[in-house]
């Protein structure tokens, strides 16, 4: 299963006692493949470094580059499907290029994808993704 995780979801999944921790734990176990681009990895490190500590962001960046189930890809087309917050398009473009099963987010800007037939992007909440992970 190939997945893209929104930065805010990855951030809250790092908290050991958090309700979204299973998302990070399953990543470490190799239960799914995390698809990333250089741009996504940079955002992960920037935002997580700002909201926690820079060393946590650096450790996470090192981990993500070493895990065998983290697959770096390149995007060759910008779909520009999200107009409200165009910075979110990096996740959509990677989802399409990586042919992912799920894009995990709670960001309301992604709701527009439900009304777009092509390219198809399956957006799922972290709560629903945890239910998917329980079935593995």
104 vs 91: CA distance, rounded Å:
10
Residues 2-22 have pLDDT tens digits of: 999 999 999 999 999 999 999
- pLDDT band at residue 130 under the 50/70/90 scheme: very high
Residues 42-77 have pLDDT tens digits of: 999 999 999 999 999 999 999 999 999 999 999 987
- pLDDT band at residue 95 under the 50/70/90 scheme: very high
Work out the mean pLDDT of the chain and round it to a whole number: 93
What superfamily would CATH give domain 2-134?
A: 5'-nuclease (3.40.50.1010)
**Segments making up each domain of the chain, as ranges:** 2-134
For the chain, percent of residues with pLDDT exceeding 70: 97
For the chain, percent of residues with pLDDT exceeding 90: 79
Q: Which residues of 12-29 are buried (b: 16+ CB within 10 A; e: fewer)?
A: bbbeeeeebebbbebbee
Name the H helices within the chain.
7-13, 21-29, 38-51, 54-66, 89-97, 126-134
């Amino acid at each position: 299963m190939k997945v893209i995780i929104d930065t805010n979801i990855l951030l809250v999944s790092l908290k050991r006692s958090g309700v979204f921790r299973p998302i990070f734990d399953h990543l470490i176990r190799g239960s799914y493949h995390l698809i990333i681009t250089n741009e996504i990895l940079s955002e992960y490190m920037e935002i997580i470094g700002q909201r926690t500590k820079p060393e946590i962001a650096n450790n996470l960046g090192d981990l993500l580059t070493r895990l065998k189930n983290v697959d770096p890809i390149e995007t060759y087309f910008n779909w520009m499907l999200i107009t409200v917050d165009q910075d979110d398009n990096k996740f959509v473009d990677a989802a399409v290029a990586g042919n992912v099963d799920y894009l995990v987010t709670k960001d309301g800007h992604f709701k527009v994808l439900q009304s777009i037939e092509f390219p198809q992007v399956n957006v799922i909440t972290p709560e629903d993704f945890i239910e998917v992970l329980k079935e593995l």
